[in-house]
């Protein structure tokens, strides 16, 4: 090839390269125009993948913002990592905080109230659209929403319809007295594990907090801490003591079995495998059991049992809400508001509930799902029971939630007490008295940390 031909080729290469550079610059400019915000969340495992899907759906739905979603591998980690990041001025724009971390955020002053954020960015949110049992857990004493409910659940009774058919029953027990009769009948019918439970710290909320709420029994004074940081634990002075005593009695009779990963088989797996005929767990596990239970196993869910004569109240919401943190630019707040508005739409509620076990947090989301036949479909049938449980009554000063500092540690103390009871190291009353005493030490330490702070 002549030198002229080589020069011509060179000019062509330069032209192509220049075009590529211009295209790259154009793409880079378009990407640069997007406002990026960080969203830290606590979910792990399969749910973490679903959260990533939500983020991707939002990013694909518009061209102005990009939410970068990062799992912190646990609710406690998400809260602790966010506190550390905030102190270093490296906090995310949005963070998912679990229900019992609400007080920590409220007292931190490190947030941009979500009701103000949405209004400031032109979104007219009907906060009364959120179910009362969900709204009250996250609202201030004046009813203001400083965070947006996201993944919500409550505890239910799961029961094996095939096993109950063998003892002549076609309905779940509604009282603990009925549970006792049914467990005895199941045992006589040859079932080794009529009821499987987990008494670890991660699962105490289903035993203590949910039980206390539906029986309208306080966990602590000051209306479960809503009225002041001087609250003291009183779960050792009500029906919860009877409940623990009965569970231990049924355990000694072989009617209740302790099921956990540490023991070789957790209670959810034990139920799905047909090894236990009843269990207590979150509606969030409905999807897991649907996917893992034998196809020929018939099972359903019901509201948690109460003791006979109880005027049932609403159960408590579990899960987490989304907080927006201070120290960000107006552009980032605009992006955060757009994302929160996106996840609040009824269509997203349908997708979220279809792909997880969580429930819709708004009435409009629930209505949209009902109209679309969601609860008529076999994989999802029964999940509406969680809504019935959360709306069994208007929230009372006791059933609106818990505002107690150090709740993860308090749950651990209750779990230690239950371990002592079930291992015959202490009677129920003494073990719970000791747990309350240790828990009150935690509360006093928390109160001292926030001395002079007023609950909003």
Q: What is the pLDDT of residues 254-310, one digit of tens each?
A: 999 999 988 889 999 999 999 999 999 999 999 889 999 989 999 999 999 999 999
> CA end-to-end span of the chain, whole Å?
82
The answer to whether the predicted template modeling score (pTM) of the entire model surpasses 0.85 is yes
Whether pLDDT at 22 is above 50: no
- CATH code: domain 155-315+405-449 is 3.40.190.10
Strand order in the sheet with 65-71: 65-71, 35-41, 94-98, 318-324, 148-153
CA angle 125, 127, 132 (to 5 degrees): 155
Return the SS3 of 168.
coil
Is beta strand 155-160 parallel, antiparallel or unpaired with respect to 278-282? antiparallel
What pLDDT, on the 0 to 100 scale, is given for residue 313?
Answer: 98
pLDDT tens sequence across 167-191: 999 999 999 999 999 999 999 999 9
Cβ contact 280:259 at 8 Å: no
395, two tokens: 């929230």
> Position of tokens 């939630």?
401
Same fold, 35-153+317-376 and 155-315+405-449: yes
Of residues 454 and 175, the one with the higher pLDDT is 175
Whether pLDDT at 17 is above 50: no
Q: Quick one: average pLDDT of 430-447?
A: 98
Q: Quick one: average pLDDT of 145-166?
A: 97
Euclidean distance between CA atoms 343 and 365, whole angstroms: 11
Homologous superfamily of 35-153+317-376: Periplasmic binding protein-like II (3.40.190.10)
Whether pLDDT at 330 is above 60: yes
Q: Where are the domains of the chain?
A: 35-153+317-376, 155-315+405-449
Whether pLDDT at 29 is above 70: no
């Amino acid at each position: 090839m002549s030198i002229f031909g080589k020069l011509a080729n060179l000019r062509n290469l330069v032209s192509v390269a220049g075009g590529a550079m211009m295209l790259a610059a154009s793409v880079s400019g378009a990407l640069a125009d997007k406002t990026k915000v960080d969203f830290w969340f606590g979910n792990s495992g399969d749910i973490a993948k679903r959260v990533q899907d939500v983020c991707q759906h939002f990013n694909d739905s518009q061209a102005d913002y990009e939410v970068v979603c990062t799992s912190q591998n646990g609710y406690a980690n998400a809260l602790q990592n966010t506190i550390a990041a905030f102190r270093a001025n490296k906090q995310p724009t949005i963070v998912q905080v679990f229900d019992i971390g609400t007080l920590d955020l409220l007292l931190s002053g490190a947030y941009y109230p979500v009701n103000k954020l949405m209004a400031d960015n032109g979104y007219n949110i009907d906060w009364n659209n959120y179910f009362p049992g969900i709204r009250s857990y996250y609202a201030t004493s004046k009813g203001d929403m400083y965070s947006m409910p996201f993944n919500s659940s409550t505890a239910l009774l799961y029961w094996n319809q095939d096993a109950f058919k063998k003892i002549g029953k076609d309905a779940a027990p509604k009282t603990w007295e009925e549970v006792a009769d049914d467990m005895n009948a199941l045992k006589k019918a040859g079932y080794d594990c009529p009821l499987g439970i987990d008494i670890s710290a991660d699962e105490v909320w289903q035993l203590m907090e949910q039980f206390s709420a539906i029986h309208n029994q306080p966990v602590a004074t000051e209306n479960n801490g809503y009225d002041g940081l001087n609250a003291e634990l009183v779960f050792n002075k009500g029906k919860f003591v009877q409940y623990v005593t009965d569970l231990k009695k049924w355990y000694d009779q072989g009617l209740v079995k302790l099921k956990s990963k540490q023991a070789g088989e957790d209670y959810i797996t034990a139920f799905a495998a047909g090894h236990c005929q009843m269990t207590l767990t979150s509606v969030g596990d409905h999807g897991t059991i649907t996917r893992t239970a034998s196809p020929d196993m018939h099972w359903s869910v019901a509201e948690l049992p109460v003791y006979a004569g109880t005027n049932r109240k609403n159960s408590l919401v579990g899960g987490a809400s989304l907080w927006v943190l201070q120290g960000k630019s107006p552009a980032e707040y605009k992006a955060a508001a757009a994302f929160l508005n996106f996840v609040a739409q009824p269509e997203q509620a349908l997708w979220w509930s279809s792909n997880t076990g969580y429930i819709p947090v708004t009435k409009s989301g629930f209505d949209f799902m009902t109209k679309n036949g969601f609860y008529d479909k076999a994989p999802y049938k029964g999940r509406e029971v969680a809504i019935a449980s959360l709306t069994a009554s208007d929230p009372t000063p006791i059933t609106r939630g818990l505002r107690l500092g150090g709740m993860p540690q308090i749950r651990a103390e209750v779990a230690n007490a239950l371990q002592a009871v079930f291992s015959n190291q202490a009677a129920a009353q003494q073990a719970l008295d000791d747990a309350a005493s240790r828990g009150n030490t935690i509360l006093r330490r928390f109160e001292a940390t926030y001395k002079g702070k007023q609950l909003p």
